[in-house]
């Protein structure tokens, strides 16, 4: 647990269409926003953030889509150079699950799990959900706990 409540230093939110174009926009807007917040564009962290957003947005438009509804991207800059990515979709009735079976489904959440310090899902009342992931200041590749 962090010693202090995580008060956002800055925040970006955008509603997007649940289409491939919307998912692509989510990634492009993210790249621009974190550059504006001073994360070097070609840094491992910035690349990790772009990949995580791309995977979560792809899942929102494929698995979390409801006709006529969009999805929402939020980026929350937290103290300690942590970034929380939040992707909200309208389907709270189906949830992400990382498949343990090698040939089943894609690798999107496996990649998210590898790149994010933490990730999870919370309800977005009344009927949606938010899939969130935090990319921290810890150097990628330095993890030694086997996760």
Binding residues for ligand ADP, per CB under 6 A?
55, 59-60, 62-64, 89, 91, 94-97, 99, 105-109, 131
Report the distance separating Cα 142 and Cα 95, nearest Å: 30
9 binds, among ligand ADP, Mg ion, none (CB under 5 to 8 A by kind): none
Question: What number of other Cβ atoms are within 10 A of residue 61's Cβ?
Answer: 21
- The torsion angles phi and psi of 15, rounded to 5 degrees, stand at -90, 135
Query: Which residue, 99 or 137, is less far from ligand ADP as judged by CB?
Result: 99
Least distance from C-beta 107 to Mg ion, angstroms?
8
Least distance from C-beta 27 to ligand ADP, angstroms?
15
Report the distance separating Cα 125 and Cα 133, nearest Å: 19
**105 touches Mg ion by CB under 5 A:** no
Query: Which residue, 8 or 105, is less far from ligand ADP as judged by CB?
Result: 105
Look at strands 128-135 and 82-89 and give their pairing: antiparallel
Report the distance separating Cα 69 and Cα 147, nearest Å: 35
- The CA angle 91-96-142, to the nearest 5 degrees, is 140
**64 touches Mg ion by CB under 5 A:** no
**108 touches Mg ion by CB under 5 A:** yes
Query: Which residue, 64 or 77, is less far from ligand ADP as judged by CB?
Result: 64
Binding residues vs Mg ion (CB under 5 A): 59, 106, 108
């Amino acid at each position: 647990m962090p010693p202090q409540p995580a008060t956002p230093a800055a925040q970006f939110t955008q509603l997007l269409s649940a289409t491939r174009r919307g998912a692509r926009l989510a990634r492009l807007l993210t790249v621009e926003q974190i550059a504006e917040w001073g994360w070097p564009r070609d840094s491992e962290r910035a690349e990790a953030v772009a990949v995580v957003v791309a995977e979560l947005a792809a899942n929102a438009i494929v698995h979390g889509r409801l006709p006529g509804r969009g999805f929402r991207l939020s980026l929350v800059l937290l103290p300690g150079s942590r970034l929380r990515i939040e992707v909200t979709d309208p389907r709270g009735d189906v949830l992400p699950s990382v498949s343990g079976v090698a040939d089943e489904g894609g690798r999107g959440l496996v990649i998210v799990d590898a790149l994010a310090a933490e990730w999870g899902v919370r309800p977005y009342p009344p009927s949606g959900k938010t899939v969130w992931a935090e990319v921290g200041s810890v150097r990628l590749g330095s993890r030694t706990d086997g996760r």
